[in-house]
Chain A
Amino acid sequence: MSPAAIMLSMTVNGEPVQVAAPPHWTLLEVLRYRLDLIGSKQGCDKGDCGACTVQIDGVPQLACLTLAIHAEGRAVTTVEGLGLLAGGVHPLQDAFDRHTAAQCGFCTPGILLSAEALLRKRGREVSRAEVCEALAGNLCRCTGYTKIIDAVVDASRVMAGANTQEAGRGE
Chain B
Amino acid sequence: MLRLPQFEVVAPESVADVVTALQRPGARVIAGGTDILPNLKHHLGTPQHPAELPPVLVSLSRVTALRGVALDEAAGVLRIGAGVTLSQLSEHPEVQRRFPSLSQSAGAVASPPIRNMGTIGGNVNLDTRCRYVNQTHFWREALGGGCLKSEGNVCHVVPGGRNCVAAMSSDNVPVLISLDATIVQAGPEGVRELPIEEFYKADGLAHTNAKPGEVTTELRVPLPKGPRRSHYIKWSVRKSIDFPLVSVALRFDLGEDEATVAAVKVVVGVLGSKPRTLSKLDDVVGKKFGDPAVARMVSDAAYAQCKPLENVPYEAAYRRDMIRVYTRRAIEALAASAE
- Say yes or no: A46-B2 contact (C-beta < 8 A), given A67-B9, A70-B59, A136-B240: yes
B153 within 8 A of partner (CB): no
Number of interface residues of A (CB under 8 A): 31
Q: Are A48 and B59 within 8 A (Cβ)? A: no
A60 within 8 A of partner (CB): yes
Q: Which of A23-62 contact B (CB under 8 A)?
A: 23-26, 42, 45-48, 50, 53, 59-62
Chain A residues lying within 8 Å of B30, measured Cβ to Cβ, are 67
Picked from B1, B4, B42, B111, the residue with its CB within 8 Å of the CB of A42 is: B1
B110 within 8 A of partner (CB): yes
Looking across the interface, which residue of chain B has its beta carbon closest to that of A52? B113
Main secondary structure of the interface of A (DSSP, over half): loop
Complex Cα spacing A138 to B7, Å: 29
Q: Are A61 and B59 within 8 A (Cβ)? A: no
Main secondary structure of the interface of B (DSSP, over half): loop
Q: Are B37 and A65 within 8 A (Cβ)? A: yes
Q: Are A3 and B33 within 8 A (Cβ)? A: no
Picked from A23, A48, A66, A137, the residue with its CB within 8 Å of the CB of B33 is: A66
B126 within 8 A of partner (CB): no
Q: How big is chain B's contact interface, by range? A: 20 to 34
A171 within 8 A of partner (CB): no
Complex Cα spacing A152 to B41, Å: 33
- Say yes or no: A22-B6 contact (C-beta < 8 A), given A65-B34, A67-B37: yes
A15 within 8 A of partner (CB): no
Q: Mark B113-148, 1 if CB is under 8 A from A, else 0.
A: 110110000000000000000000000000000000
Complex Cα spacing A76 to B199, Å: 37
- Say yes or no: A24-B6 contact (C-beta < 8 A), given A47-B34, A136-B239, A137-B111: yes
- Say yes or no: A137-B114 contact (C-beta < 8 A), given A3-B8, A46-B41, A48-B241: yes
Complex Cα spacing A42 to B3, Å: 11
